[in-house]
Amino acid sequence: MATSFSVVAGLFNPKQKIIAAGIIGNIIEYYDFALIGFLAVMMGNLFFPSTNHFLSLLGSFGAFAAGMVMRPIGAAIFGHIGDRVGRRFALMSSLVLMALPTFLIGFLPTYAQIGIMAPILLVVLRMVQGLSVGGEYASSIVYLVEQSGPKRHNLYGSFVSVGAKIGMALGSGLCGALLWYLGEDAMGQWGWRIPFILSIFIAMAGIYLRRGLVDDYRPNEEKTIPIVAIFRDYRKVFGQFLAVASIVWMFYYTLFIYLPIWLQGYTGLSKMQSGQINTFSIVMGVVFIPLMAMLADKIGSIRVMKIAALSTAVTIFPLLYVMIHGGFIGAFIATFLMVVLLCAYQAPIFAATVEAIDHHGYRASFTALILGSAAGIVGGMTPALMTSLVELSHNAYSPAYIIAISSLIAWGVLKKIKVR
């Protein structure tokens, strides 16, 4: 096995090895998220059984949210490690802690087998995942931006999101293939376990890639705790970037986690069709994230995000209308346009956050707290929020209200951020 990894690693030049090592953790992270999204209904029935479909689905998304709300805690821990010990150690430790729970979920007994302990164990594993993910995501972003060349900070920072999209494409594609091959009955009985168990091979590749990680960062000798210094000296810029990042991740998890379920319920599309659209949207994200990052390197991160925020606020209602009334083709085209908007929104946020402060010794903590809180608290609660909002209002357009208002808020905040 190690020999196989050596052959693969030998195909990369030094810069490509840096990128591969930086993004491999995000591939694992979002591979798992894709599984949770694609298998939400099945896992809801297995771990949160209820005669009410809504409550069962809400339980599944609740387990997802439980892991996500741990991200700010993990961000604080691993951000501190990244600033005080080193980027490499933070990346290695978070990878191992993240990969193991994903693998173990594949062996969990269901509610029918052990009762209430089944959902409890699922939530515990999701919380361990969330703790490690909070550090992994930001540590890899800071590492890649700091290792990038001049005028390529956005491009290198965006590779983290490319890794996320690759992970989601792998997870969604594998689930779709298994559903097609096994059928829905077998998939619901035992086939859902296969994607979680197979995650161990991605984890092994990640550990191998990160063994020889290049790290130019040297911790300073300051005694001030980075988090304390951030809230003392960078409160305003912290609040601005937290607001924008929260709205970006609300849009992100609506599109990639909640939308496949929404498509099945309000557009008449089958599970297979919504899965195909979801997989396509993830693949398109892999293409457009680096393109939008290169645009941001040319004209500025804040400018690209302002254009994306305003465009999203204006177009989100028409896009949902096309999805509802346009059949498979309409949903396909509208989802594609949403992906383009999201990529313009998201691609510049990584490097912009890292470079928002000039103190290198605080960057890992600053970036981790912002992105961990945005993705963990706001993003993690988004699928359950959207599910509840549509259910209570009986209005399929409810998500559009939230996204449109939030995007206008983001646009207003972005206008006030001073470009360094």
- CATH assignment at residue 360: 1.20.1250.20
What is the spatial distance between Cα 263 and Cα 277, in angstroms, rounded to a whole number?
Answer: 9
Tens place of pLDDT per residue across the chain (420 aa): 544 444 444 445 566 777 887 788 788 877 887 787 677 777 777 887 766 666 666 666 666 667 667 777 887 787 777 777 777 777 788 788 888 888 999 999 988 888 888 888 888 888 887 777 777 777 788 888 887 777 888 998 888 888 877 887 888 889 888 988 988 888 888 898 999 999 899 888 888 877 766 666 666 666 777 788 888 888 999 999 999 999 999 999 898 888 888 888 888 888 888 888 887 888 888 899 999 999 999 999 999 999 999 999 999 999 999 999 988 999 999 999 999 999 999 999 998 998 888 877 788 888 888 988 887 778 878 887 888 888 888 888 999 999 999 999 999 999 998 766
> Residue 44 has what pLDDT?
75
Is 107 within the bounds of a domain? yes
What is the spatial distance between Cα 285 and Cα 161, in angstroms, rounded to a whole number?
Answer: 8
Is 249 within the bounds of a domain? yes
Residue type, 92: M
CA atoms within 13 A on the CB side of 230: 26
Is 396 within the bounds of a domain? yes
Find the farthest-apart pair of alpha carbons in the chain and give their distance in angstroms, rounded: 61
* DSSP sequence for 161-205: HHHHHHHHHHHHHHHHHHHHHH-HHHIIIIITHHHHHHHHHHHHH
Is 76 within the bounds of a domain? yes
Please identify which residue in the block is written with the tokens 């052959």: 7
Nearest to 210 by CA among 75, 93, 99: 93
Is 308 within the bounds of a domain? yes
Q: Are 324 and 280 in contact (CB under 8 A)?
A: no
> Residue 99 has what pLDDT?
83
Provide CB contacts within 8 A for 48, sequence distance 6+: 55, 56, 58, 59, 60, 62, 63, 111, 119
Supply the range of the domain harboring residue 234: 7-213+223-416
> Residue 9 has what pLDDT?
47
SS3 content of the chain, % helix, strand, coil (to 5): 85, 0, 15
pLDDT in tens, 346-355: 999 998 998 8
- Is the pTM for the entire model greater than 0.75? yes
Is 218 within the bounds of a domain? no
> Residue 4 has what pLDDT?
47
> Residue 8 has what pLDDT?
46
Q: Is 2 exposed, middle or buried (0-12, 13-18, 19+ CB in 10 A)?
A: exposed
Alpha-carbon distance values, 29 to 116, 262, 381 (Å): 26, 23, 17
Q: Which two tokens stand for residue 96?
A: 């191992």
Q: Positive or negative, the Cα torsion across 141, 147, 148, 150?
A: positive
Q: Are 31 and 199 in contact (CB under 8 A)?
A: yes
> Residue 217 has what pLDDT?
63
> Residue 339 has what pLDDT?
94
Q: Positive or negative, the Cα torsion across 213, 217, 218, 220?
A: negative
What total number of domains does the chain contain? 1
pLDDT in tens, 315-337: 999 999 999 998 899 999 999 99
Is 2 within the bounds of a domain? no
What is the spatial distance between Cα 132 and Cα 34, in angstroms, rounded to a whole number?
Answer: 17
Is 260 within the bounds of a domain? yes
> Residue 81 has what pLDDT?
79
